[in-house]
């Protein structure tokens, strides 16, 4: 039964690989996992911890902008 279920969803399952360079330390951290494509044009389903680094990045950009008025906050469309 499990094998049958995997065969049905394997065409919608894709890998997620995220590499992040930490600004002050220069260290690179990587995360990997999977996502399920819900609508091919833009919608995926994945676990929150997979995208947590991106969420933290946005929060940190806002905090840095508040303390450093000369900084620019960049936002990506995707």
Q: Where are the beta strands (DSSP E) in the chain?
A: 13-21, 28-39, 43-45
Q: What is the pLDDT of residue 49?
A: 79
pLDDT over 70 at 78, yes or no: no
Distance of CA 74 to the CA centre of its chain: 16
What pTM value is reported for the model?
Answer: 0.54
Copy the structure tokens of residue 69: 């008025």
Higher-pLDDT residue of 55 and 14 is 14
Q: What is the pLDDT of residue 63?
A: 79
Q: Quick: pLDDT tens for 19-74.
A: 877 777 778 888 888 888 988 788 888 888 777 877 787 887 887 777 766 555 55
């Amino acid at each position: 039964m499990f094998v049958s279920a995997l065969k049905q969803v394997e065409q919608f399952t894709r890998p997620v690989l995220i590499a992040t360079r930490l600004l002050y330390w220069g260290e690179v951290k990587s995360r990997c996992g999977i996502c399920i494509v819900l609508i091919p044009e833009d919608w995926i389903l994945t676990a929150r911890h997979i995208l947590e680094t991106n969420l933290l990045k946005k929060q940190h950009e806002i905090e840095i902008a508040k303390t450093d008025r000369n900084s620019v906050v960049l936002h990506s469309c995707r």
